[in-house]
Amino acid sequence: MSRKVGDKVATYGPRSLTETAPGSGVGRYRELVKRRIAQEHGGRNHDQCATDSPHTRFIGTSVALPLSERDLTRSEMQTWTAEALEAVGLENAASLLVDDLSGGQRQRVGIARASAGRPDVILADEPTSELDLVNRSKVLTHLLRAASASIVVIASNDPEVVEACSEVIHLYDGHIQPPLGSATT
């Protein structure tokens, strides 16, 4: 399967089979991606949680962390961080502590951090699962807009999220299934 910028792909299947537990379909894919990234970056794992480091205690610092590896001025980093936070409804939260956030707010910080650096690929695992309707809409809109410059792959059991994607990959028992209604050989 080849992918190009603009692709919005959803993986969809029974909840227990799309979760990112090691050994599940998405979990295996995520582990492969993490291993590949670590290899390409000298063994460094860039899949860190917002609260993993004392240097990322503040939301703005957490979102800006992946930008530090880009060739950006301080002003550009601040602008990209502010844009990412605004896109997920946290425009006034850069100076707040990550530890003081709700689960849904932390989830939105993760989406902002994942997209702030305008990466080639964004892997989002259940990005709307902990969010109210207003913030679900903001995050989904943001991820779909990000697809104009990235490939966006979303693991979700939310029919609205899946429907918004341009392609759906059905998973069952950790394996990709043929599209519904297609003939199998």
In a domain, 41, yes or no: yes
Sign of CA dihedral 3, 137, 130, 12: negative
| Residues of the chain by 3-state class (helix, strand, coil), percent to 5 | 45, 15, 40
CATH of the domain at 33: 3.40.50.300
pLDDT band at 47 (very low <50, low <70, confident <90, very high): very low
Helix pair 103-116, 74-87: axis angle to 10 deg: 130
Give the per-residue pLDDT at 66.
84
48: pLDDT strictly greater than 50: no
Name the 3-class secondary structure at 143.
helix
In a domain, 2, yes or no: no
In a domain, 54, yes or no: yes
19 burial (CB, 10 Å; 0-12 / 13-18 / 19+) is: middle
Nearest to 138 by CA among 158, 161, 159: 161
Instruction: Give residue 128's identity as a one-letter amino acid code.
Output: T
Instruction: List, for residues 94-123, the tens digit of each pLDDT value.
Output: 999 988 899 899 999 999 999 998 888 888
45: pLDDT strictly greater than 90: no
What is the Cα–Cα distance from 62 to 11, expressed in whole angstroms?
A: 27
Domain boundaries, position 170: 8-177
In a domain, 182, yes or no: no
In a domain, 3, yes or no: no
In the structure, how many helices (H) and strands (E) does the chain have? Answer: 7, 5
Number of structural domains in the chain: 1
Q: Which residue shows structure tokens 């707040």?
A: 96
In a domain, 99, yes or no: yes
Q: Which two tokens stand for residue 86?
A: 């605004």
* pTM reported for the whole predicted model: 0.71
Instruction: List, for residues 121-169, the tens digit of each pLDDT value.
Output: 888 889 998 899 999 999 999 999 988 888 888 988 888 998 999 888 8
